Amino acid sequence: MKLLLSSQRHYSTLASLNLKTFENPQSKAYKIIQYCKSGSLFEAIHVLNSIDWTRLSNKPFFYASLLQTCTKAVSFTHGIQFHAHVIKSGLDTDRFVGNSLLALYFKLGPNLFEARRVFDGLFYKDLISWTSMITGYVKVEKPKKSLELFLEMLGLGIEPNGFTLSATSIISAFTRNDAYDKALGFFYSMCRKHGLSPDGFTFGTVLTACGNLGRLKQGKEVHAKVIASGLSGNVFVESSLVDMYGKCRLVNQSQCVFDRMSVKNLVSWTALLGGYCQNGDFESVIRIFREDEMIEEGIRPDYISFVGVLFACSHVGLVDQGKKYFAAMSEVYEIKPGIEHYNCMIDLLGRAGLLEEAENLIENANCRDEPSLWTVLLGACAASPHSATAERIAKKAVELKPDHHLSYVYLANVYRAVGRWDDAVKIRNLMTKRGVGKMPGTSWIET
DNA sequence: ATAGGGTTAG
């Protein structure tokens, strides 16, 4: 690639390159900025190459604009070249240039290493620098680092007030860290201490936290805040509410919120179905799915919603229905079944005593060596352990997952059921030898 | 003048 910004060119246009003239529409400096603003990276570079860059004043502003344009135009290679020039001119300590570089590395990289280097090298870090780095860590799945940095920022006396976004990224970091309690705590201090008004994103995150914690009381409080904030029409917020009530075992409330939603999407439906699933009302799941209500509203079920309905089928023992949905998944909706769908089907078939059919299904799946499939099938076998099939399945499970103690227990149980006491003892010894958990006493019958 | 953000499902 041609090197940009050669310093050996075009002294003739020097007159148009000072700070004052970039506001002059005739000047090339003005054109560069205009091109940057409209995201026309190549045009901007073209003009840039026709001037003497070394004589241009106010370089930080140009570098920042150009770097942002690279980010906007998704051109990482150009961005890196500009970074090289930035370093050469010693402007990488400038916070505007640096912040633009951070955006480049986080949005197009993501290159955490380079971003951190830029961040550490900044002469003065402002709230935007901190926020970029904090949210950047969340993005690359390093919530702990993100929180460390957040605390460091607070230690320096920089308050995240006025910027809801920095607060939401912290909440997000907490929730990704499974520290839902802290996320909730932060939400409340954000509202009370800093007087910030949360937006839809914040509410979505916080409601999910309430749901995962089963905190109905706080969930309701947040619901009240949602209503007060006028965000009731937000499909993300309302789907989170449906989810929250479902997880807090108030499935009626979940249905109520759902019914009043003016805009529903697939996630809203799946959250509703999930609520019924978690509350053991599998009949409702199947009823809602079967009545084609979703399809009437123009919503096509996806990978996850099929997990819900197959899970329900397996719990109710609807073999034909389950088979129908499993087939429809790939035939009608062109969704490749995954391990979760297979698990449901194996459980469904196995519990119905259709061991061979279940075994067949596993053997023909591309995830056939996945231990969980065999473990699930083995669990289903416990109801009918009197067969060579059960023995075969149990052996396969032990082979694929030698550290799973239940497989041994099941296998021993199969032997006991047909009176092969010596084999049962061998399994017990094998378990001890491999050190995989404790064999239950002889009173153990089935799960 | 220029820069920063995220949510939902089994």
Query: Which tens digit of pLDDT belongs to each residue from A160-171?
Result: 755 666 777 888
The pLDDT value recorded for residue A443 is 38
The closest nt to A302, taking CA to C1', is: B9
The pLDDT value recorded for residue A199 is 86
d(CA A184, CA A340): 31
Contacts (Cβ under 8 Å, ≥6 apart) of A193: none
The pLDDT value recorded for residue A13 is 36
Strand B nucleotides, any atom under 7 Å to a protein CB: 1-10
pTM across the whole model? 0.79
The pLDDT value recorded for residue A239 is 95
The pLDDT value recorded for residue A438 is 59
d(CA A30, CA A34): 6
The pLDDT value recorded for residue A385 is 63
The closest alpha carbon to A349, from A317, A374, A379, belongs to A317
The segments of chain A whose pLDDT lies below 50 read 1-19, 441-447
The pLDDT value recorded for residue A138 is 85
The pLDDT value recorded for residue A14 is 36
Q: Which residue is nearest to nucleotide B5 (CA to C1')?
A: A165
The pLDDT value recorded for residue A168 is 79
Which CATH topology does A1-124 take? 1.25.40
For A309-349, write each residue's pLDDT tens digit. Answer: 999 999 999 999 999 999 999 999 999 999 999 999 999 99
Does the CB of A307 fall within 7 Å of any strand B atom? yes
Does the CB of A163 fall within 7 Å of any strand B atom? yes
The pLDDT value recorded for residue A192 is 82
SS3 A419: coil
The closest nt to A30, taking CA to C1', is: B1
Does the CB of A424 fall within 7 Å of any strand B atom? no
Enumerate the domain spans of chain A: 1-124
The pLDDT value recorded for residue A445 is 37
